[in-house]
Amino acid sequence: MKTFTKKLTMSLPLALCAVAALLPATAVTQGNSGTPTPQGFVKYLVYMAEMRLNGEPLLLTMPTDVDVFQRAIMGRSPAQIAQNKASAEAFFLQRFGLDFTKTAPDAMGVEHIPGAMLSGFRLNPKANYRAYTISEERVPSQGWEVRDGGWAVMLEGDQLVFGEYGGASGKMVKDGAMIVFGDYNIAADRPGRHNDKPIVIQYFSGSPIIADMDGVTSFVCDLSHPQWGAGKARGLVEGRSIRNTITFPPERP
């Protein structure tokens, strides 16, 4: 059986609901002067990526890497990390019928049930994940770094998935499909404000993420923000490029 980390590496684009572009360190930092929010929406964001990882893994799944994201970046205590993981497990069960509520991690931090495995993850910071447009914000041309991490389930083998997604009869999902639950932690750096708090958006897979026969991946993630409410991320991965548009609410009322 392939390891969780290896399968994640083979499915790098599939784990993401947003990734940022790599730009030279000398990029001009003039902003977009506050892009207006489209009429009928509360907020919108755009992420882009041209991935250049030079063979390094995009997703870091070792327990130490997961701990860096949860503790240092998200600022969670051990009790809060446990609660966040429990929320992820509850989501995987309710939405997809995958029950990790009674499993325990192995030495590599991976938990197993028949046909699926669960692990924490952190996006490799060398991916330079960034948000380039946030409406009503003056984002510089090099964007703002997005620290991304959470919990991911990888399916092993074609199988029926139940829960709210598959219903009583289930939906067939292919081997290697991924389901995610995590946070975008955007390092906002506004001029003249040296103690900006990060913009944190929680995300949940709306459906399993997997490439089509041509290797092109489309993804949909449900989002939640304490001020903007419910949102949705819709994107496309083709080759090394990722394009993603995020709106709050998901559709114009």
Q: pLDDT tens across 109-166, in order?
A: 999 999 999 999 998 887 788 899 999 999 999 999 989 999 999 999 999 999 999 9
- Give me the DSSP letters along the chain: ---HHHHHHHTGGGG-S-------TT----B-S-PPPPTT-SEEEEEEEE---TT--SEE-SHHHHHIIIIIIT---HHHHHHHHHHHHHHHHHHH----TT----TTS-EEETTEEEEEEEE-GGG--EEEEETTS--BTT-EEEEEEEEEEEE-SSEEE-HHHHTTT-EEE-TT-EEEEEEEEE----TT-TTPPPEEEEEEESS-B---TTS-EEEEEEEEETTTEEEEEEEEEETTEEEEEEEESSS--
CB 199 within 8 A of CB 188: yes
Q: Give residue 29's pLDDT band: very low, low, confident or very high (50, 70, 90).
A: very low
Query: Is the distance from CB of 53 to CB of 21 less than 8 angstroms?
Result: no
- Where along the chain do its domains lie? 4-19+29-248
Two structure tokens written together for 167? 């219903």
Specify the higher pLDDT residue, 28 or 41: 41
From residue 140, alpha-carbon distances to 6, 39, 135, 194 in Å are 35, 23, 12, 15
pLDDT for 5 equals 56
Read off the pLDDT of residues 55-95 as tens digits, 9 standing for 90 and up: 888 789 999 999 999 999 999 999 999 999 999 999 999 99
Q: What is the 3-state secondary structure of 43-85?
A: EEEEEEEECCCCCCCCEECCHHHHHHHHHHHCCCCHHHHHHHH
More confident residue, 65 or 27: 65
